[in-house]
Amino acid sequence: MIAIPVSGGAFAPYDVVVGRGLMADAGRRIAVFAPQRRTVIVTDETVAALHAPALQASLTEAGIDSVVVAVPAGEASKSFAELERVLDRLLEAGLDRKDLVIALGGGVVGDLAGLAAALFMRGIDFIQVPTTLLAQVDSSVGGKTAIDTPQGKNLVGAFHQPRLVLADIDVLATLPERQLRSGWAEVLKHGLICDHDFFDWLAGEGAAGAAGDPAALQRAVVRSVEIKSAIVGEDEKEAGKRALLNLGHTFGHAIEAELGFEEAALAHGEAVALGCAMAFRYSARRGLCEARHVERVEAAVAESGLPTRLVQAGVFSADALLGRMAGDKKAEGGALTLILAQGVGRAFVAKGVDAGEVRAFLIDEGAEA
């Protein structure tokens, strides 16, 4: 078991605890943050059946009463309707400002429960118990909470840091293979941003993690959290360096939005993997990095069973994708902001990117003119 501290000047520090068998001991760790000995567990219908009984048993053993609120599984639950339903259930449970919410699930549940906690009585504590690889390495850490709108992904939300994150490696054994690969995309992303050696390990011996090896998964989760926690501690609200964590996301979110956030068509991690490959190809097109770096990224992504080419996701209009990208949260004054790279482990924020150049690139990538 390893505890990774997350701290910054504007928020209370907390630990991300990574290890095996953490669910059985969760109640004891959570009790510190539950003085009134009651909580609401927000989860989805799939995770509720798999993991809620174990978590509730641990909470009961620690003397904490809990109520489970389960939303439908999938990105569609990041909506105003489900947010309202969760808030209503918190009110029905009689929670007050000294109580807390537990997010048990993947990124969708964490985003939804975290936003509900941020809004409820102007903000109450919440704890993340991520059950997907994507959530353990990315969305559970850093305090970003949000829902989607028809206009785009994560456009309505708040920064609300958890008080604790419990990342139990054992629960990843229940993930479908596609979800595990989807989470692996975010792991690869962390190496691509700023850790060349980590990426080399992921592309070599560490690739066993993408196939479910617990030891490799734990090392991958720990290093990913270390990278993200350092960036979040320096820049909580994405005024600068934190934007690096969006490598692959501007392209990826645009593709997801055009597909209606339909996970059966393209999972979030698959979109991020594709977006990372596109970001490196665009960087090479602009002369920012050598072709050999692009080849390494494409090989590692493909070997992980993730898409590298736009055609693998579907048929798209270049103008429609560009419109989505212009509406991205990172865009400023209508100008595009992209996370590009000078090589593996050397990502940077590029502001004021020419939309015409990006449109031409998208057409070369296979989008329709």
Question: Which one of the listed residues 78, 189, 249, 293 is annotated catalytic?
Answer: 249
Confirm whether 246 is a catalytic residue: yes
Q: Any catalytic annotation for residue 186?
A: yes
Cβ contact 44:71 at 8 Å: yes
Instruction: List strand residue ranges (DSSP E) for the chain, in order.
Output: 2-8, 11-19, 38-44, 65-71, 100-105, 125-130, 144-149, 152-159, 164-168, 336-341, 347-353
Query: Given 186, 258, 263, 270, which residue is catalytic?
Result: 186
Q: How far apart are CA 256 and CA 324, in angstroms?
A: 10
For residue 218, what are its two tokens?
A: 């734990």
Check 236, 238, 270, 365 and give the catalytic one: 238
Cβ neighbours of residue 77 closer than 8 Å, sequence gap 6 or more: 44, 71, 108, 109, 112
User: Is 330 a known active-site residue?
Assistant: no
Q: Is 189 a catalytic residue?
A: no
Contacts of 325 (CB under 8 A, 6+ apart): 250, 251, 254, 331, 336, 358
* Active-site residue, selected from the candidate residues 78, 153, 223, 242: 242
Clarify whether 268 is annotated catalytic: yes
Residue 51: active-site member: no
Q: What's the sign of the alpha-carbon dihedral 259, 262, 264, 268?
A: positive
Q: 153, 189, 219, 228: which one is catalytic? A: 228
Q: In 3D, which of 221, 154, 212 has the Cα closest to residue 187?
A: 221
């015409």: which residue's tokens? 356
Locate tokens 């030891």: which residue? 215
Q: CA-to-CA distance for 82 and 113, rounded, in angstroms?
A: 10
| Catalytic residue, candidates 51, 246, 281, 329 | 246
Annotation marks residue 228 as catalytic: yes
**Cα-only R_g, the chain:** 20
Catalytic residue among 78, 181, 253, 296: 253
| Contact partners, residue 230, CB within 8 Å, separation at least 6 | none
Q: Which of 38, 163, 268, 329 is catalytic?
A: 268
Report which DSSP code applies to 61. Answer: H
Task: State yes or no: is 242 an active-site residue.
Answer: yes
Choosing from 38, 78, 89, 144, which is the catalytic residue?
Answer: 144
Catalytic residues: 122, 144, 186, 228, 238, 242, 246, 249, 253, 268
